[in-house]
Amino acid sequence: MTALIEIEGVETGYGRVKVLHGLSVELQEGANIGLFGPNGHGKTTLLRAVSGLLRCWSGSIRFLGQEIANLSPRRIVEMGLIHVPQGSRLFPELTVGETLALGAQRKEARPEQAKNQEQVLAIFPKLRERWRQRVSTLSGGERQMLSIGMAMMNHPRLLLLDEPTLGLAPKIKEELAVAIHKISAEGVPLIVVEQDVEFLLDLTSRLFLVSHGVVERSIDSEHPLGHEDIMQMYFGH
């Protein structure tokens, strides 16, 4: 198996404060991985460094065999690496349809816009129902669906999802989980940050515990740990 993305020894942070202390993780072709761990230990920071939103101070990030650390976010998107940040910002006055059309940013994805749109609406039937509705009137779950739908308009080669189900009620969370499974079944590889370890175990082949800016432990989803072990990893002894 070849690696789709190899992240090696990444250090970065904000101002003089270092958040990632040489973090390494890789994703093999045809797999999904999950990142979890205590709040504020660098998961979001890692996704921002990978998508070019934050400068890497050192280390390397190879995507499809090419070094992408410190390339511009635009170039990284062009390569098909698409990041859906936590609580993505959308334009409140635009309709669902207008917002999805805006999502198609990659040159390669533009000629396929109609096909990609049909795929997005098959994954998120709710977006079809809300087609002419303004973003400002959508629920939190519907906005999250729209954010992921926008990313899918780019026909991603790798999708980064930062806490996609954060703050959602159980029913809508379940709906979103089904949609994310469908995206994976369509062959889109995923790196997912989530606090819900059960959700990650179900979706991904390997989980990584991010703690103090490094990967402290990795877990094979086929041999998951018990609840007690997971609690211990989060909170220590």
DSSP tag of 95:
B
- The interface mask with ligand ATP, positions 38-67, x = CB under 6 A, is -xxxxxxx----------------------
- Between 34 and 42, name the residue whose CB sits nearer to ligand ATP: 42
- The interface mask with ligand ATP, positions 79-118, x = CB under 6 A, is ----------------------------------------
Compute CA 146 distance to the chain's CA centroid, rounded to the nearest angstrom.
14
Cα–Cα distance measured from residue 26 to residue 58, given in angstroms and rounded to the nearest whole number: 17
- Between 182 and 217, name the residue whose CB sits nearer to ligand ATP: 217
In degrees rounded to 5, what are phi and psi of residue 79? -75, -10
Smallest separation, CB 50 to ligand ATP (Å)? 12
- The interface mask with ligand ATP, positions 5-44, x = CB under 6 A, is ---------x----x-------------------xxxxxx
- Considering CB under 6 A, how many residues would be counted as binding ligand ATP? 9
| CA dist list (Å): 148 to 28, 71, 127, 153, 234 | 22, 23, 11, 9, 28
Q: By the 8 A CB rule, do 203 and 190 touch?
A: yes
Could you report how far apart the first and last alpha carbons of the chain are, in Å? 37
**C-alpha closest to that of 131 among 106, 97, 155:** 97
119 touches ligand ATP by CB under 6 A: no
Residues at the contact surface with ligand ATP, assessed by CB under 6 A: 14, 19, 39-45
